[in-house]
Amino acid sequence: MSGARGGSCVTSSISARCACGALQFQSTAAPVMQVICHCADCRAATGRSFCETAFFRTGHGAITGPQSVTSFVAASGARTERVACSRCRTVMFDTSNRFPDIIGVLAETIEPPFVAKPACHMWVSSKVAGSDITDGLPQHAEGLS
């Protein structure tokens, strides 16, 4: 396989899976955006102080395996769904009626050689008190429009 030359890019398959391996995501397209979210909903879903998410166009990915869906209205006012494995409860996906053609895949579930390259931080107005953001990425007080 030859490397990328002259601005062309070869996209290999991107795979994500839950802790037990039953719920999987596969895409042959690169994410359209990656962000770090500090909202309370993401923190509650992941148990972490922030969540890194890679967003893919829905037509470019396939999900297989047992799913458990939780629906809620996010702080943005958007109807949102979180999808977890119904066996091991690993949260893997996020969808919003605000962006109906996009699915968010939690970066921590994506397998190497994928490397998260977030473009920005969002919902920093909700970040954990005392946590510093020092990576130099743009910061948004709330979500992206």
Residue 123, pLDDT score: 94
How confident is residue 45, by pLDDT bands cut at 50, 70 and 90?
Answer: confident
Residue 9, pLDDT score: 41
2 pLDDT above the threshold of 70: no
Mean local confidence (pLDDT), 79-89? 95
Q: Cα separations (Å) of 2 from 7, 8, 10, 13, 20?
A: 13, 11, 9, 16, 34
Q: What predicted TM-score, i.e. pTM, was given to this entire model?
A: 0.84
Asked whether the bond before 112 is cis by omega within 30 degrees of 0, the reply is no
- What fold, for 14-126? 2.170.150
Query: Where are any strands of DSSP class E within 38-119?
Result: 51-57, 61-64, 67-73, 79-85, 91-96, 99-106
98 pLDDT above the threshold of 70: yes
